[in-house]
Chains A and B, each alone.
Chain A
Amino acid sequence: MTAAPFPTALAPVKRVSLLRRFLRRPMGVIALFLFLIVVFLAVFAPLLAKFDPNHVDFNLVYARPGNGHVLGGDSAGRDLYSRLLYGAKTTLWGALITCVAGLVIGVPAGVSAGYFGGTLDRILTWISDALQSVPAMIVLLVVAAGSGQSFPVLMIALGVFLAPGYYRISRARAMSVRREPYIDAARVSGMTNARILRTHMMRAVYPPLVVQTALTAGIAIGMQAGLQFLGIGSASTPSWGQMMNDGFRNILSYPILLLWPSIILGVTVAALALMGSTLADLISVRAEQPTPRLRAKARQWMATPPAASDLPAREPSGMHAHQIENCALRVDNLRVGYATKAGLKEVVRGVSLDAAPGEVLGIVGESGSGKTQTSFAVLDLLPSGGTAVADGIWIGGKEVSRLSAKDRTALLGREIAYVPQEPLSNLDPCYTVERQLVEPLRRVHGMSKADARKRAREVLVRVGITDPDRVLRSYPHQISGGMAQRVLIAGAVSGRPSLLIADEPTTALDVTVQAEVLELLRELQREYGMALMIVTHNFGVVADICDRVVVMKDGRIVETGAVERIFRSPEDPYTAELISASLDDADGRHELDEAWAANGSSAAEGRSAAHAAGEDGAR
């Protein structure tokens, strides 16, 4: 067994539970607090209320507060305060029954329908749709009449009508999850369908169910009050709906009777809705977004001149090969930082590079080296929370780092163009290729519709698409990944930019398509005399297309040089390591097995440990 190529212990990770994050939201805290008060009142109603809610005292008819009766009495002489508390008990109990019924019916059905699909899915969905189209209130009135006004039966019936909400959510989640490879892996590891449903599927469905339950409970409480208002349910069970009915009948003489149940009902339903929406917010966003204050702080921190102590870390890395006037792109001491709770995280730490027109510059590094962040900073397209600071960024000989965001955006499509890594996810599935190519030409270059279409067709032909008219009419899902990448390249060069930035343009494609795309980029770059900045982790791609290379590691440039020199005599050991990671001249399995047989296992293991030392360290 080889030694662990890997820190023997992992760095501690701070996990923040959902509850903790919920409690950080003021809205969530207030809603939860109000809801807990209602729960408290309901649970301790027998202790808190001194009077029997059904006890009739004729002195108390329409009585004002006083004499131990905190809120006074109702039209029949019963203590309002007691009725309100016992009503809370009825209300919450009913909501609980409804939610449980909805969960028990809706979730297993939804998860099975989403997981198995096919006929089962069609039948269950039909039932769910049918349930939703039936007017629930009328059926509930029938149920009430048929069941002798039994409160639990009524609440269960309401749960049946709310089950489609659970059904639809569970089904949608299950459908999206069943295509995940981990479900296939579970099947391959011999798990029964029942077990997969119980574990993986339920785990995936659980978070949205929490949200749905908060909302369902709110609806259930509203419906329940409505039924009671209409006089459904046992007269001896105190409820808010009954109290509102009483208040409504006396609204002209004693409006206060309507006030109390309305307030508590409104507060309870609102609290549940707010809890639901806060939870939905938290669940949909995995990582917490930096607050505006944090962002401002990060910007300030990035902008302040470095203190003497951190100078070494803040010195620019990399170098320039051309005069500023001759550069299509020049970057001086670029730094990119992200605001996080733990403070500022600098992902690009002082990068200087340049590229002349007609030159292909490669930026090479592993994931996390900051190569993509560098290109985003040049494009001024950093994700939210990111801040870029540079001594200067020149595009086409013009300093742009101090321009406004609007002026920077104006450069896109004219001076700079961009080719992304994932071709298909960078085309909008809702629009045809034609629309996506023609719109920018009209917007950015002010072309007429006919001119723009002509130009788009020309460029498609230029990027090697033999039937441009069919492709123009197509939607993105109708074309292959390689074709989509050609379309994106066509879109990028259609505005004749002076600088093209390609971020791992071939990583998502297989080798045959990769060769085609690289060939195309090379031809276009020569034809248009553009500077091409290509971001990649593959030294084969570098050898194929680049004139000069910048090697990045941990947000800094470790080496810059002409491509022949870098391959012939890499100065930095990291560069050498990256080059040697390519499998071109590595031993094949045949040689490895021969060496292993000859030396026992030691040689092979020594090599693999050495390899591993450079790998996937701390993140």
Chain B
Amino acid sequence: MSGDTSPLLRVDDLVVDYRLARGVRFRALKGVSITVGAGECVGLVGESGSGKSTLGRALLGLAPVESGKVTFDGQDITHAKGTARRKLANDIQVVFQDPYGSLDPTMTVEEILAEPLEVTGTSKKQARAVVAEMLDRVRLPGDAVHRYPSEFSGGQRQRIAIARALVRRPRLIVCDEPVSALDLTTQATILDLFIDLQRETGVAYLFISHDLGVVRRVCHRTSVMYQGEIVESGHTRAVTEEPDHPYTRRLLLAAPVADPARQAERRAAWLGLRDSA
């Protein structure tokens, strides 16, 4: 998809430690390397506690990096702080899992979407035009602007969160389990929206999920994480259809398929793998 020569985002041997108590440390990332090209979608799969969300947070400057390097567009952003970090907001944005907690309940949709623009000194009028455009892009009606998040369903809120990530026209969006709190039907629509938006705007995604089915749908390449390490990486099709690593195979077989006969086979295979492990 992208030129391998100079990817948009490059993570080298990243190590993140969380301090649990005085003197007690937990190593959440044990030397992780990954690249994301411009306009590319890279998936990061694993169970809870595998460190996949920590990687996303480390890129955004929300997790303490112990060692390793994060390069964005040729620039070292590993320890970017203050003004340098705020400047990155032009290029890197985020969509979180929880469609309820990720929008300030006291703000209207317009305030939520205009806020990232006002930071950059955009005029009110210009901001309003961009907000209208983004609402249209995420397929929400224009009269949503004067409403509060509580007046929307989970899927609609996630659209608002996506619009907020898009208003600064970033080049990379970190999507941290953006559909796992939604109904399956809503999941499918939001995933299609992600794909359409990528085609329209050329934005790249780092797509974090525990669901191989979701990753298969949207990601060009996929890495599988287990206990703070990447155990398998490759073209999404290869990883999700013929996984090499036993953990990936277990992950794949654990996801139930919507077909009783095939699911019975899959379950038998999963049980076999589990009991032999």
Set A195, A200, A539, A612: member contacting B184, Cβ < 8 A: A539
Chain B residues 128-165 with CB under 8 Å of chain A are 136-137, 139-141, 143-144, 147, 151-156, 161, 164
Set A6, A9, A541: member contacting B139, Cβ < 8 A: A6
Find chain B residues with CB under 8 A from A184 CB: 60, 62, 94, 96
**Which of B10-18, B65-73, B210-218 lies on the face that meets chain A?**
B210-218
A367 at the B interface (CB under 8 A): yes
B106: shortest Cβ distance to chain A, in Å? Answer: 4
B89: shortest Cβ distance to chain A, in Å? Answer: 3
How large, as a class, is the contact surface on chain B? Answer: 35 or more
Does B119 lie within 8 Å of A608, measured CB to CB? Answer: no
Set B115, B139, B256: member contacting A540, Cβ < 8 A: B256
Centre residue among B89, B258, B270 by max chain A CB count within 10 A:
B258
**Which of B21-29, B30-38, B186-194 lies on the face that meets chain A?**
B186-194
Find chain B residues with CB under 8 A from A607 CB: 192
Residues 182-204 of A, flagged 1 when their CB comes within 8 A of B and 0 if not, give: 10111111111001000110011
Chain A: residues with Cβ within 8 Å of the partner, total of: 76
A366 at the B interface (CB under 8 A): yes
Does B210 lie within 8 Å of A608, measured CB to CB? Answer: no
Does B256 lie within 8 Å of A185, measured CB to CB? Answer: no
**Which of A82-90, A138-146, A218-226, A514-522 lies on the face that meets chain B?**
A514-522
Given contacts A515-B270, A590-B236, contact A612 B216 (CB under 8 A): no
Nearest residue (CB) in B for A506 is B256
Does A190 lie within 8 Å of B89, measured CB to CB? Answer: yes
Given contacts A191-B115, A608-B189, contact A512 B147 (CB under 8 A): no
Given contacts A189-B89, A589-B216, contact A511 B106 (CB under 8 A): no
A210: shortest Cβ distance to chain B, in Å? Answer: 13
Total contacts A-B at CB 8 Å = 231
Does A615 lie within 8 Å of B60, measured CB to CB? Answer: no
Set A538, A563, A583: member contacting B214, Cβ < 8 A: A583
A4–B240 alpha-carbon span in the complex (Å): 33
Set B106, B147, B191, B267: member contacting A204, Cβ < 8 A: B106
Residues 20-62 of B, flagged 1 when their CB comes within 8 A of A and 0 if not, give: 0000000000000000000001000001100000000000111
Given contacts A189-B115, A511-B251, contact A616 B186 (CB under 8 A): yes
A598 at the B interface (CB under 8 A): no
A166: shortest Cβ distance to chain B, in Å? Answer: 19
A557–B242 alpha-carbon span in the complex (Å): 39
Chain B residues 165-217 with CB under 8 Å of chain A are 168, 183-189, 191-193, 195-196, 199, 210-214, 216-217
A543–B184 alpha-carbon span in the complex (Å): 15
Does B184 lie within 8 Å of A582, measured CB to CB? Answer: yes
B8 at the A interface (CB under 8 A): no
A367–B98 alpha-carbon span in the complex (Å): 16
A614 at the B interface (CB under 8 A): yes
A8 at the B interface (CB under 8 A): yes
Find chain B residues with CB under 8 A from A614 CB: 185, 189
Does B143 lie within 8 Å of A10, measured CB to CB? Answer: yes
Does A586 lie within 8 Å of B188, measured CB to CB? Answer: yes
Does A584 lie within 8 Å of B188, measured CB to CB? Answer: no
Does A542 lie within 8 Å of B139, measured CB to CB? Answer: no
Residues 567-595 of A, flagged 1 when their CB comes within 8 A of B and 0 if not, give: 10000000001110111101111101100
A444–B86 alpha-carbon span in the complex (Å): 59
Does A564 lie within 8 Å of B260, measured CB to CB? Answer: yes
B102 at the A interface (CB under 8 A): yes
Find chain B residues with CB under 8 A from A539 CB: 184, 258
Centre residue among B107, B213, B260 by max chain A CB count within 10 A:
B260
Given contacts A180-B101, A619-B153, contact A2 B139 (CB under 8 A): yes
Does B189 lie within 8 Å of A611, measured CB to CB? Answer: yes
Q: Is the interface of A mostly helix, strand, loop or mixed?
A: helix
Does B153 lie within 8 Å of A586, measured CB to CB? Answer: no
Nearest residue (CB) in B for A586 is B217
A185–B162 alpha-carbon span in the complex (Å): 11
Find chain A residues with CB under 8 A from B41 CB: 589
B199: shortest Cβ distance to chain A, in Å? Answer: 7
Does A581 lie within 8 Å of B187, measured CB to CB? Answer: yes
B255 at the A interface (CB under 8 A): yes
Find chain A residues with CB under 8 A from B218 CB: 589
Find chain A residues with CB under 8 A from B98 CB: 181
A512–B273 alpha-carbon span in the complex (Å): 12
A519–B139 alpha-carbon span in the complex (Å): 40
Does A596 lie within 8 Å of B199, measured CB to CB? Answer: yes
Nearest residue (CB) in A for B117 is A189
Given contacts A190-B120, A596-B199, A607-B192, contact A514 B101 (CB under 8 A): no
Set B119, B237, B253: member contacting A588, Cβ < 8 A: B237
Nearest residue (CB) in A for B156 is A616
Chain A residues 1-34 with CB under 8 Å of chain B are 1-2, 4-10, 13
Extra pairs beyond A184-B62, A187-B61, A199-B115 (18, CB < 8 Å): A5-B139, A181-B98, A184-B96, A188-B92, A189-B164, A189-B168, A191-B119, A366-B185, A510-B48, A512-B250, A541-B256, A542-B258, A544-B256, A544-B267, A567-B258, A578-B184, A584-B258, A615-B155
- 10 A-B pairs with C-beta separation under 8 A: A6-B140, A10-B144, A181-B101, A185-B164, A543-B258, A579-B258, A581-B185, A589-B217, A589-B219, A619-B153
Binding site for B on A (CB under 8 A): 1-2, 4-10, 13, 180-182, 184-192, 195, 199-200, 203-204, 366-368, 481, 510-515, 518-519, 537-544, 563-564, 567, 577-579, 581-584, 586-590, 592-593, 596, 601, 604-605, 607-608, 611-612, 614-616, 619
Closest 5 CB pairs of A and B: A190-B89, A540-B256, A616-B155, A189-B116, A582-B258
